């Protein structure tokens, strides 16, 4: 295979891996019945006059399966963190002891579980679309390489088959992560 085709395929592979990682991170932001630090780490908190991520201001731990404990590095930020959590779409009310915040996660209702499964399926579809867009871009690059006589028709054909295999494998990975998250959400 030509060097150009290998470069294009390698770039596509890297971009597909990033799309998979993004999809998994998105899945992690959806709360299941369990407490997970990823649910709050990316929350924006107004501290020191600027917007900062919660993970920059505090340590998040899981003392129990349905509870998160948020311990600010600077206790002066506890009120700002509490306000940010109350304003978020998590639907949780933090309790404060002056040094740390505790978030208790109530069990999800059946209806809420189904809504969350729909959201996760939509995120998975967005991940698959991103992967297909990467495939489309790589295919365009390969075809322009053939037009510029940098690739032969055989090399183009081989590279396109490799690209299709890579795309199918990436989509299967997203589907596997979706199935795992769906199972986690529907678990009572």
The stretch 95-103 carries a mean pLDDT of 87
Question: Quick one: pLDDT at residue 160?
Answer: 94
Residues 6 or more apart whose CB falls under 8 angstroms from that of 188 comprise: 33, 107
Q: Tens digits of per-residue pLDDT, 169-180? A: 999 999 999 999
Q: Tens digits of per-residue pLDDT, 19-40? A: 999 999 888 777 666 777 877 8
Q: Tens digits of per-residue pLDDT, 114-165? A: 888 998 999 999 999 999 999 999 999 999 998 998 889 899 999 999 999 9
95 pLDDT band, cuts 50/70/90, is confident
Q: Tens digits of per-residue pLDDT, 101-127? A: 898 877 778 888 888 899 899 999 999
Q: Which fold has domain 3-29+109-186?
A: Topoisomerase I; Chain A, domain 4 (1.10.132)
Question: Quick one: pLDDT at residue 169?
Answer: 96
pTM of the model: 0.72
Question: Quick one: pLDDT at residue 1?
Answer: 67
Q: Give the largest Cα separation in the chain, rounded.
A: 70
- Which of 165, 156, 164 shows the shortest CA–CA distance to 5? 156
Q: Which sequence spans correspond to the domains of the chain?
A: 3-29+109-186, 38-98
Is a pLDDT exceeding 80 seen at residue 4? yes
Question: Quick one: pLDDT at residue 188?
Answer: 63
DSSP at 77:
G
- Which of 75, 66, 65, 74 shows the shortest CA–CA distance to 97? 75
Strand blocks (E) in the chain: 44-47, 50-53, 58-64, 67-72, 95-96, 101-104
Q: What is the CATH architecture of 38-98?
A: 2-Layer Sandwich (3.30)
Please give the distance of CA 78 from its chain centroid, rounded to a whole number. Answer: 27
Question: Quick one: pLDDT at residue 141?
Answer: 94
């Amino acid at each position: 295979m030509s060097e150009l085709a290998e470069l294009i395929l390698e770039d596509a592979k890297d971009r597909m891996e990033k799309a998979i990682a993004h999809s998994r991170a998105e899945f992690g932001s959806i709360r299941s019945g369990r407490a997970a630090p990823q649910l709050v780490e990316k929350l924006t908190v107004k501290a020191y006059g600027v917007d900062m991520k919660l993970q920059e201001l505090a340590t998040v731990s899981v003392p129990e399966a349905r509870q998160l404990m948020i311990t600010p590095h600077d206790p002066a930020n506890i009120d700002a963190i509490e306000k940010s959590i109350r304003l978020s779409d998590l639907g949780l009310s933090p309790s404060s002891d002056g040094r740390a915040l505790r978030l208790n996660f109530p069990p999800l209702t059946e209806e809420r579980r189904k809504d969350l499964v729909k959201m996760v399926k939509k995120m998975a579809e967005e991940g698959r679309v991103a992967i297909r867009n990467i495939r489309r871009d790589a295919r365009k690059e390969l075809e322009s390489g053939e037009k510029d006589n940098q690739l032969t028709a055989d090399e183009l054909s081989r590279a396109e088959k490799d690209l299709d295999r890579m795309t199918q494998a990436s989509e299967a990975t997203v589907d596997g992560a979706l199935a795992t998250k769906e199972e986690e959400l529907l678990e009572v």
